Amino acid sequence: MQLEVLGVGGAGCRIADSIRAAEPTDHSFLTDVFAFDTDESSLNGTVIPESHRSRYGPDDIDGGLAGDLERGRTVGQAYADDLLESVPRPAAEAADAILVTVGLGGATGGGTVPALVATLQQRTDVPVYVLATLPADREFDAAADRSRSGPRGPAADAPRPNAAANAVATLERLDGVASAIITFDNEDWLRPGEPLRDGRDRCNRELATRVAAVFAGGGDSEGPVAQTVVDASDVRRIVGDQSAIVALGYGDQTVETSGSRFGLGLLSAEPDIDTSEAVSAIETVVRKGIRGKLSLECDPETAERGLLIVGGPPAWLNRQAIAEGRRTLESAIGGSGILGGDAPRPDGDRVFAAVVLAGVESQRLEALRAAADRTEPAD
């Protein structure tokens, strides 16, 4: 499938940057990537071409909004329509979906994205998904920060006491507006004592890897075509259009590729690839994708629907093992709303499994709501 990515705010622009960098060279899935921010210096820190970047808002907020979500909403509502006219989007009609990336703890992205998504929904017939990072406790909870990392040093992040409240308020405004909300919890992915500024690039790469694995699909580029192609309609069917909370899982494993004649047989092992090895590799990555660390911690059993994509060198994509992996996912979520497919990657040396869990419930969201209640309300 073909995806247009719009990054909004500092965190959203960095995530968009990372997705652009994660696009497989042999399997393009991005029509365009854009960056929108109120902070000129933040925009200039991205590698997105200048023609695809736009600084917006009145001059007195260049440098950011300092966590003021109410001001962010005012600016976002005033500029949402103009943003889509501020950059050339010649490939917009080629996109099967739009992905808006944002950090939920901030005021620029959190204030603008609900209005921008609503505008996009009025202008296009394709789904508009939001890819949102949740703030870590250490960003807004000083006591939690000290217990993890001791006194603040020169590398510590500036406190963001409104981050939890901003995140919860923005999620509420996206409900019923975004087609789906794909979530990534910084708290779960940062290392103990690690400031966000030190870990965010690594976290963004992890997130971008999962996004590329899901959206790159299996049938839009030259080369081997998947036996079962996962296309835009499959993704739409699984994540829905009712603002479902979505978690992503991922697992991979390096495999031996020397001496293999990849491309001669797509889904059956070549003579020099032992079938049991191929089956074992797929079983391993599927298990990691379902039961390993998810982008949002949740019990897979709470998911309403699921999608499994298994990819890698064609000779390693054992058809029977992929079918068994789909049954494993179906069993894990306790339902029948499952789709699956394969993604041949002839030039790769890793077998991977990407898992999409849609409509999940998470205690992390409840914890953020409780933290928000302890701070001044965003309204």
Confirm or deny that 109 is annotated as ligand binding.
Answer: yes
Helix (H, G, I), strand (E, B) or coil at 140: helix
CA-CA distance, 218 to 227, in Å (whole number)? 9
Residue 95 phi/psi, 5-degree rounding, is: -75, 135
Confirm or deny that 283 is annotated as ligand binding.
Answer: no
Q: Quick one: tokens of 153?
A: 């040093």
CA separation, residue 270 to residues 145, 162, 224, 257, 266 (Å): 53, 56, 15, 11, 9
DSSP assignment of 65-120 equals: -TT-HHHHHHHHHHHHHHHHHSS--TTGGG-SEEEEEEETTSSHHHHHHHHHHHHH
Confirm or deny that 139 is annotated as ligand binding.
Answer: yes
Q: Hey, how many other C-beta atoms are within 10 angstroms of the C-beta on 258?
A: 6
Confirm or deny that 358 is annotated as ligand binding.
Answer: no
Q: What share of the chain is helix, strand, coil (3-state, %, to 5)?
A: 45, 20, 35
Here the contacts of 42-46 (C-beta below 8 Å, separation 24 or greater) are 42/10, 42/13, 43/13, 45/14, 46/7, 46/13, 46/14, 46/16, 46/17
Residue stretches of the annotated binding site: 107-109, 139, 186, 204
Binding site membership for GTP: which residues? 107-109, 139, 186, 204
